A and B are shown apart, each in its own frame.
Chain A
């Protein structure tokens, strides 16, 4: 008896609620129309999809950076792409591959193979990979003291390396079981140019080249604030994705009332994410620059900067000499020529054009090379086999340099002759 009135009441209530919702929906649409922003469901949907896509792309970019690749030189995926290394600051993709390849033959070398390890920066890298090593191999094999021997080059010159990176690299290779018989260390120009460049960027000259290191070392901190800031970004991003997914999957945008409110919340989350990400990046940049990027407190006086670079170069040579000496390895330290070393070569118009470099490089090499030559004499007096090749191109009038530091095949072959001579002079004493 009582069921029917109750049912009627329930239906009435449902109808009231639905009517209320419809009224609210119409009211919301009317309100937005009067305010000059008529509600457009498809626009809301595409806006949500657009924000989600942008955030995913941003997150993807951050992931790529977290993989510690130095990617802003159009060389992503290339052999020269740099990755963090615990002892030499970075290593290239090709370098990792080379090490893998060389390691496979560890312990299987026959007694007839002489392993020649090449260390240093870009000049050493070019020398090892191109005409320099090839010519040096010819020179060595042609000498009676190398009769019946094979010469194998271990190419570990790396663009941008400077002291003490070659020392750490040799220590690392010896720990892995490498046993080279000759170490040729070609260094000087990058030690000065990049050391000076570091100081200009507020980094210590003994730290690795700031231009590479600063890109790799961002995020390299474990403090809780950095973590919490990162995690806050992650949580908000997850909320944003969840909310956006909800809006798209449930079609909330169809209703002006729900779509408008949901969109407001979604955009609030996006703004929150942007400000959290900014705060996080700022914090990490600040922390990283203080602790990891710059090294010891910077020094301002240019003469002090040069002094630091020259000392690191000298110490690097002494450390390498000590390590090699203890193992009976022939160590030859070569000071290569550099375009901005005044008076070291009559430059051609093309070389002047190609040799343009940052002022810090020019200043570092211009002021530093005379110091390196003098220090080189001191190294030689200490018993280090030091080869001053800085004036190798003094009488050459042709094009040799391809940029401010590196030279082409003709220059490489000339350097190989000089190094070959030095190795052959010392080789019999070692054997």
Chain B
């Protein structure tokens, strides 16, 4: 009778315990995974691996540059430009791809196309830019114009000279710059309103005058480079968080983390937290720059008074610049159309869906700018009409549209752009028939 080997039985026992521990651990993880999925399902937000992966890949893209960009989470949203920006002598700043666009525009003048296209230039901020991007996909405006038998047949060319963050007088200066370079459009469409009141009000909170460009962009460019050590350290913190988001995104892609609801959710939460850190650190950085009051070139003329006087300044900049655009266009025989864009927080302008409400939050100064500014813009728009400006109040365009059109506080999905394109088309047809 053989005596059992005590060492072998000890090893077997230990292996058995280990196997049991591994099994329990795996079962525990599986339970956690199932529990997470069940919890999310019960909360009405079932786990969507594809969506989580998309967001994880999208976050580093919107953080590619120093300035935090809006987070788009709508698949059919026209992408907002995430280009780096550089100083420009007449526009405050310009996106880097803008220089190539200008070069291309100048070359197109030399090419002398036959037939010469009817050039429609769009100016404004990110909504105007997204309008052009959406148009490149669906061509609604040009198709609509071409379908009118009373409008002479033409080859249309729609050119996007709108830039995210632009507000008046940047649109006027852009047209003046293009004319100086020898480029004369046939139609200028200016889609604006939101940035003038929202960013104008934000400027005031940063110690900058509303007539100056968006403080978030301009102050940063002016102060960039070697500025003071405290500013550099704040920038360093922002860049660290940006790099951390990129690392997480790479991990996501390489290890397919989205396959697990538990890990995918936790990782995405971490990335969103980093994103929040970036935004709040950037606000700290902007505040730091704002405190450098001695820098008139950073903040522009001094502005004093309450919100109401700031809004008056914002509205005056918007109105006077539109008049200038109108006058310059009239002098050059260009048809000028000024469109007041709709915006989510303009009360009564749209039945807001739950999702729009969830995704449409914005900072206080923007909110105050829209609430105080939009009624004033509508009223001054009537005055612009009286002065001969082809002003289109599209602020109530979505008033009877209960469907989801906004994906954040001011940008809309393609369906919104189609509605806007149709309204602009009607107005252009009217003007073109008038023979203007």
Interface residues of A (CB under 8 A from B): 59, 62-63, 65-68, 83-89, 91, 96, 99-100, 103, 163-165, 167-168, 171-172, 174-177, 206-208, 213, 217-224, 226-228, 230-231, 234-235, 284, 287-288, 290-292, 295-297, 308, 311-312, 315-316, 318-319, 321-323, 325-327
Contact = CB atoms under 8 A, between A and B. Distances in A.
A65 B226 contact: yes
3 interchain residue pairs of minimum CB distance = A220-B87, A322-B331, A219-B225
A84 B86 contact: no
Interface in B327-366: 327-332
A63 B320 contact: no
22 contacts: A65-B226, A83-B296, A83-B297, A86-B92, A86-B212, A87-B91, A87-B169, A91-B297, A99-B301, A171-B324, A175-B169, A177-B316, A213-B89, A217-B89, A222-B93, A224-B64, A224-B66, A235-B236, A288-B86, A297-B103, A322-B331, A325-B327
A171 B106 contact: no
Contact of B173 (A87, A218, A227, A308): A87
A292 B86 contact: yes
Nearest to A322: B331
Interface in B305-327: 316-317, 320-321, 323-324, 326-327
Interface stretch (B117-125, B213-221, B409-417, B421-429): B213-221
Interface string B220-240: 111111111100110110010
A176 B317 CA distance: 7
Interface stretch (B26-34, B126-134, B179-187, B396-404): B179-187
Interface string B265-295: 0000000000000000000000000000001
Contact of A319 (B176, B232, B242): B176
B330 to A, nearest CB: 6
Nearest to A177: B316
Interface residues of B, number: 70
Judged by DSSP, the binding face of B is: helix
Interface in B175-200: 176-177, 179-182
B353 to A, nearest CB: 35
B148 interface: no
Given A224-B84, A230-B232, A167 B218 contact: no
A65 B225 contact: yes
Interface string B44-65: 0000000000000000000011
Contacts of B90: 87-89, 164-165, 168, 208
Contact of A168 (B176, B179, B242, B297): B176
Given A62-B226, A220-B86, A319-B176, A326 B326 contact: yes
Contacts of B88: 292
Interface in B76-106: 84-94, 96, 99, 102-103, 106
Given A66-B224, A234-B232, 16 more contacts: A85-B297, A87-B91, A88-B89, A171-B172, A171-B324, A175-B317, A208-B89, A221-B87, A223-B86, A234-B233, A291-B94, A296-B103, A308-B181, A322-B327, A322-B328, A322-B329
